[in-house]
Amino acid sequence: MDIEHYQKFVNKTAFFPKSSQGRNLSYLVMGIVEEVGEIFEFIVKKETLNENEYILEQIIKESGDLLWYITAICNEINFSLERLMQYAKVKKNKHISNNSLLIYLGNLSGAVKKMIRDDNEKITDKKSDLIINNLCYILIFVLQLCDENNVKFKVVLEINAK
């Protein structure tokens, strides 16, 4: 499955309670935070259990779930996942540490919170840029997980689309 088809798949499978763009984005950001937490739960288990195959499968599955939320946010703000991938490739030489990931998650949630609070739940260009920038680094984290576990990104897409 290619990135364009995956983005269409996510668009078809994304169902939210009827709400505004701001509320949808807040729901999706909460999903990202949840998935990152689940990934780290399995990373800790992997370190303590010496690379159990089941745990690796779960890291891949949860990475796909995280990617689903990243893509759903792209859909919500009318941004191409392909373009986000291009940004990530340019910045990929930057290693995303666990501490950095927390900063990007905080910046992402802060941008959405302020959009709801300050901008009547309408996304401004400035907030959109901030969301895209932080999503890019979270996507780099997913790409790093793929590299660290010798898994092709395309495999993560395909597993998640099942």
Which residues constitute the domain of residue 26?
Answer: 3-160
Please state at what angle helix 21-49 crosses helix 53-76, rounded to 10 degrees: 160
Q: Rounded to a whole number, what is the distance in angstroms from the first to the last CA of the chain?
A: 11
pTM of the model: 0.93
1 neighbors 7 (Cβ within 8 angstroms): no
Q: How many domains does the chain have?
A: 1
Give the dihedral sign, CA 68/74/78/79.
Answer: negative
The sign one gets for the Cα dihedral 143, 13, 107, 136 is: positive
Is residue 88 within 8 Å of 140, Cβ to Cβ? yes
Give the tens place of pLDDT for each residue, 33-89: 999 999 999 988 877 776 678 888 999 999 999 999 999 999 999 999 999 999 999
Considering only residues 38 and 121, tell me which one the structure prediction assigns the higher pLDDT.
38
Specify the pLDDT at position 21.
Answer: 67
DSSP code for 39: H
